[in-house]
């Protein structure tokens, strides 16, 4: 495809930042949009989850900032930026599935709350984008639009009504009942809100509310915002699903 950074005044990969609350569809929508564009995909939350997993495996208390920093001392983290071959590793261990366990979900906010961890993680995210080898990277996670990539040419806040987010998350986690999922989502929102404001769009950030949209409609809405923010030509193949 044509390099989306051509003619935009942007050096290196184009960065698309997508923020939003838990259950808003950031991961699935971002991954599909990246496929459609031929971009890389970076799930920043995976880094915090992997560190939380590392701390828990070592028997550390993730609510203790000193313990979290200790867990980060020998944290060997790697992640794929390929939306079609997604994996997360800590050392030689594939933790792609393990970091989605409920115990990790409950612990991750404690890890993300540590300022020193966020600073080092943000530097890591920028380095991963710069070395991606892709024409662009869709980066999703909390405070991406305001802290990690405030100068990104496209910044999106993807959101939905709380009851819709809970229903979608419940459908993904077939082993848990809807009430339990809704309660967990509420706790996660409350915990995360002490770290970042994930419900209010910062100046220059476009809101995509998927409350009344299905998955493909949400992906299309996000792609429309990206196309409007990065004026480029279509590829020589004439494909309609690329910038």
- Binding-site positions for ATP read 20-28
CA distance 30 to 219: 8
Q: Parallel, antiparallel, or unpaired: how do β-strands 77-79 and 206-209 relate?
A: unpaired
- Cβ atoms 157, 84 nearer than 8 A: no
Q: For the chain, what percentages of helix, strand and coil (3-state, to nearest 5) are there?
A: 45, 15, 40
Annotation: binding site: 20-28
Q: What are the start-end ranges of the H helices in the chain?
A: 26-37, 45-57, 65-72, 102-112, 115-130, 162-172, 178-192, 215-229
């Amino acid at each position: 495809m044509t390099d989306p950074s051509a003619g935009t005044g942007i050096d290196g990969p184009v960065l698309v930042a997508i923020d939003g609350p838990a259950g808003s569809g950031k991961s699935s929508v971002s991954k599909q949009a990246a496929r459609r564009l031929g971009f890389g995909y970076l799930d920043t939350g995976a880094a915090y989850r992997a560190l939380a997993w590392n701390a828990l495996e070592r028997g550390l208390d993730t609510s203790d900032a000193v313990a979290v920093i200790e867990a980060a001392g020998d944290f060997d983290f790697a992640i794929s930026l390929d939306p079609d071959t997604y994996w997360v590793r800590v050392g030689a261990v594939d933790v792609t599935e393990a970091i989605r366990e409920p115990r990790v979900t409950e612990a991750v906010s404690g890890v993300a709350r540590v300022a020193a961890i966020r600073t080092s993680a943000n530097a890591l995210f920028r380095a991963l984008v710069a070395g991606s080898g892709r024409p662009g990277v869709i980066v999703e996670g909390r405070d991406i639009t305001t802290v990690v990539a405030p100068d990104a040419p496209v910044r999106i806040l993807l959101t939905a009504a709380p009851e819709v987010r809970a229903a979608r998350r419940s459908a993904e986690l077939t082993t848990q009942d809807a009430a339990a999922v809704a309660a967990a989502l509420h706790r996660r929102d409350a915990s995360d809100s002490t770290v970042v404001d994930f419900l209010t769009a910062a100046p220059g950030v476009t809101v995509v509310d998927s409350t009344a949209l299905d998955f493909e409609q949400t992906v299309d809405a996000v792609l429309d915002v990206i196309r409007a923010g990065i004026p480029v030509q279509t590829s020589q193949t004439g494909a309609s699903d690329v910038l």
